[in-house]
Amino acid sequence: RLMAGAAILTAAGTEADALCGGAPGAWEFWVPWEEGAESFKAVSGGSARGVYYRVVGNKGKEKTKVKGKTYVRRPLLIVADKFRSHDYLQTLEAVVTSDRRVVEYDGLGEGLSEPLEDKTKDGLKAQGDEALKYAVNELAALAEPLRKQMKVEGFHILGHAFGAEVAVAYAQQAPKGMVASLSLAAPPSSLSVPKDGKYQTTVLKDPAMLCTEEGSDAQRESFVSDVISFIDQVDGVATSKSLFT
């Protein structure tokens, strides 16, 4: 672990800007968070590099009892687009309003992860299949240690664009129970959406503009609400309070 604490999500630095600079709601204050890095080695005998991750939310709220039955809200793990850090999707940290944690990471040497060597990065940019393979292996190297550290059975996974391809490819090889559901945001038209019944899948709009001047609070809240509604339905729980209040 690199750092841990509790912070207002709209603070400066590495804290998130969940509503992209809007007036903070009561839920945004003092949300627990931690940051760390997992070691990832692309090839046997090669050098390892650190992959940055960030976990936001409160583990203690993920279990709930209804009429004597215990329900568990599984965390959401977000996979960003190719060669982009997690920052542009940080509005999705608002998913913590559904009483589950949110995990983000910087893949392919972007953001706060240790950068790729120029030769490696150029090769991955030139060869899409290799980039996908690399990204899937990177996610696999991150997911299992995080599952153990966070003491959860698995994750809901949301992938954006190239990240949707990574999510689907990873889900097809992941250990049983690791993937609770797939949320595919603006997936490539060539991507085949899984229909094997192993996990539920939904397709979402493109979230890339949510945290730009082109995005509105209404659009951000609508997107987050759609995500929460889907993963709550998969977990068999209901969101009992209004979002962003």
Helix axes 118-126, 128-150, angle to 10 degrees: 110
Closest to 204 measured CA to CA, from 183, 188, 222, 224:
183
The predicted pLDDT at position 2 comes to 40
pLDDT digits (tens, 9 = 90+) for 47-100: 789 999 999 998 888 988 877 888 899 999 999 999 999 999 999 999 999 999
- Pairing state between β 155-160 and 102-105: unpaired
What distance in Å separates the CA atoms of residue 204 and residue 221, rounded to the nearest whole number? 14
Cβ neighbours, 10 Å, residue 36: 19
pLDDT digits (tens, 9 = 90+) for 193-230: 877 778 899 999 999 999 888 888 889 999 999 999 99
pLDDT band at residue 41, thresholds of 50, 70 and 90?
confident
What distance in Å separates the CA atoms of residue 107 and residue 163, rounded to the nearest whole number? 10
